Amino acid sequence: MTRNFSDILLVAVNARYSHCAFAPRSLIANLGPLAPRAVLLESDLAITPLQLAERIVARSPRVVGFSVYLWNVRLIEATARILRVVAPGMRLAAGGPELTKDYPHADLFDTVIVGEGESAFRAFCETVLTDGGDFPLSSVLVNETGEDLAALALPYTLYSDTDLARRTVYVETSRGCPFTCAYCTSAGSGLRLIPLRLLLPAFDELWRRGLRRFKFLDRSFNAPAEHACAVLDFFRSRVTADTCLHVEIQPDRLHPDVLSRLADFPTGTLHLEVGIQTLTPHVAAAIGRSPDTARTLETLRVLTRETGATVHADLIFGLPGENEDTFARGFNTLVTVCDPPEVQVNWLKGLPGTRFVREAQRLGLAFNPEPPYELLRSDAMDFATLSRIQRFARCWELVHNRGHFSEACLCLHALAGGDIYACYQALADHLCAAEGKLFAISRPRLAALLDDFLSRPSPHRHAPNPSPPHER
């Protein structure tokens, strides 16, 4: 194995190879004089803890920084346990949204950084490498206020040409969130903007290097409107057919100036992730979302029908106060009124540090203690009901969201008579009865099962049976 020595090693285990880690690149960019002594080690979830430890040890770092997320936390913890045995002199730091003040495995690391980590990680490295000092074992450093974004160095020069050409590249125009959604790790963190005088030249350089697919990390890209408009204007003046901007927006707070700019982009160059989460007003109000359902639906309808954007709407099932009937009504309303190309149906998760986790007992919520922390029981749904909705969600993703069976979807919606949820729930039962699963079904086999389902008498049939569709 080739040995590549470095004093500081940043370790990122991505969900898949195609993703580029943003956070560790930002840490390196903000190490100041220590930056030339740092390198990044990226991998994906195919790696084992033993393999990852081997790659780390081969580089003989004095400081190792782990970027910890929901998908990699157990792998990184196992790797840290190995390193404590085989390389006890290495100083280990960990940070990321998975870590909170009461993180139960802080003793695996020399320091745990809670919150934005650029300044804290630099201080840790300076102490170990420059001052010769030590941090107490399992110290927890908490950044309550966030970084001064005007003073941060942007990390975009650390994306390689290969990254720009072949992988998903993440960018940000802001940090934090002005909203207080009870399920979100960013709730109540406050919105801070990266100055446009720093941001736009960096984006221009990425564009000059050939990047055309930008995935924004902003929790609420459209807030404030002036900032969003300036970023959109930058890209609209350069947009080409191969451009794709992926942004997350809040539909009930979409300023007309932002909407007009979104509508001005050519078809297919915008991918809008729209956080709906629930259309049940009392549930929305209880979790910190706006209960203005009518405005949310109208905005989503306009985005879907009057812009060229690909619209991806998010719903969550399992929220306190939401039963299967109210969830189904909300889903049916969303699809029939707005008909977005994609509706992602997500199982509620108890993410560390969120209000739902802190107040779980009072709210009647029980979460799986293992990542990804799925809800096991709510005040209105038992585990069997949650599992049934999850089967529906998998069926919807398989048949509708992937876009391979558009003709079949039209037939299903015609036969549903407005109760699209029940129709896809029946289809999920049909697929499970035939295959015993809702994954790893080949496209030809799925097409045959759809034909069979549509040819059978159904309680959801409200129109003459069209000719059974075939896969495109």
pLDDT digits (tens, 9 = 90+) for 343-358: 999 999 999 999 999 9
Q: What is the pLDDT of residues 219-242, one digit of tens each?
A: 999 999 999 999 999 999 999 999
pLDDT band at 134; cut points 50, 70, 90: low
Please give the mean pLDDT across all residues of the chain.
92
Helices marked H in 355-419:
355-358, 360-363, 383-396, 406-416
pLDDT score for 139: 84
Token pair belonging to 208? 């000059």
E strand or H helix that includes residue 245: strand 244-249
Mean pLDDT value of segment 110-135: 87
Write the burial class of residue 382 (CB in 10 Å: 0-12 exposed, 13-18 middle, 19+ buried). exposed
Torsion sign, CA atoms 127, 130, 131, 137: positive
Q: Is residue 468 over pLDDT 80?
A: no
Q: Per DSSP, which regions of 121-212 are E strands?
A: 139-142, 169-171, 174-175, 192-193
pLDDT band at 136; cut points 50, 70, 90: low
Q: How far is CA 236 from CA 168, 207, 260, 262, in A?
A: 20, 12, 12, 9
Q: Per DSSP, what are the bridge partners of residue 336?
A: none
Cβ atoms of residues 415 and 465 within 8 Å: yes
pLDDT score for 467: 37
Q: What is the pLDDT of residues 249-290, one digit of tens each?
A: 988 889 999 999 999 999 999 999 999 999 999 999 989 887
Write the burial class of residue 227 (CB in 10 Å: 0-12 exposed, 13-18 middle, 19+ buried). buried
Residue-range domains of the chain with CATH: 8-142 (3.40.50.280), 159-365 (3.80.30.20), 382-472 (no CATH)
Pairing of strands 310-317, 270-277: parallel
Distance from C-alpha of 39 to C-alpha of 68, rounded to nearest angstrom = 17
93 phi, psi to nearest 5 deg: -120, 150
Pairing of strands 139-142, 169-171: unpaired
pLDDT score for 252: 83
Pairing of strands 111-114, 91-95: parallel
């300023």: which residue's tokens? 255
Cβ atoms of residues 93 and 124 within 8 Å: yes
Cβ atoms of residues 211 and 240 within 8 Å: no
Distance from C-alpha of 194 to C-alpha of 171, rounded to nearest angstrom = 11
pLDDT band at 469; cut points 50, 70, 90: very low
Q: What is the pLDDT of residues 163-182, one digit of tens each?
A: 999 999 999 999 999 889 99
Q: What is the pLDDT of residues 53-87, one digit of tens each?
A: 999 999 999 999 999 999 999 999 999 999 999 99
Cβ atoms of residues 310 and 266 within 8 Å: no
Token pair belonging to 260? 């007009």
Q: What angle do CA 233, 234, 237 make, to 5 degrees?
A: 80
pLDDT score for 189: 78
Cis preceding-peptide flag for 251 (omega within 30 of 0): no
């932002």: which residue's tokens? 258
Q: What is the pLDDT of residues 347-393, one digit of tens each?
A: 999 999 999 999 999 999 999 999 999 999 999 999 999 999 999 99
């036969």: which residue's tokens? 415
DSSP track, 429-462:
HHHHHHHS-SSS--HHHHHHHHHHHHHS--TT--
pLDDT score for 190: 87
Q: Is residue 461 over pLDDT 90?
A: no
Mean pLDDT value of segment 210-221: 95
Q: How many CA atoms lie within 13 A of 289 on its CB side?
A: 25
> Helix axis angle, 324-337 relative to 420-435, nearest 10°?
110
């259309």: which residue's tokens? 279
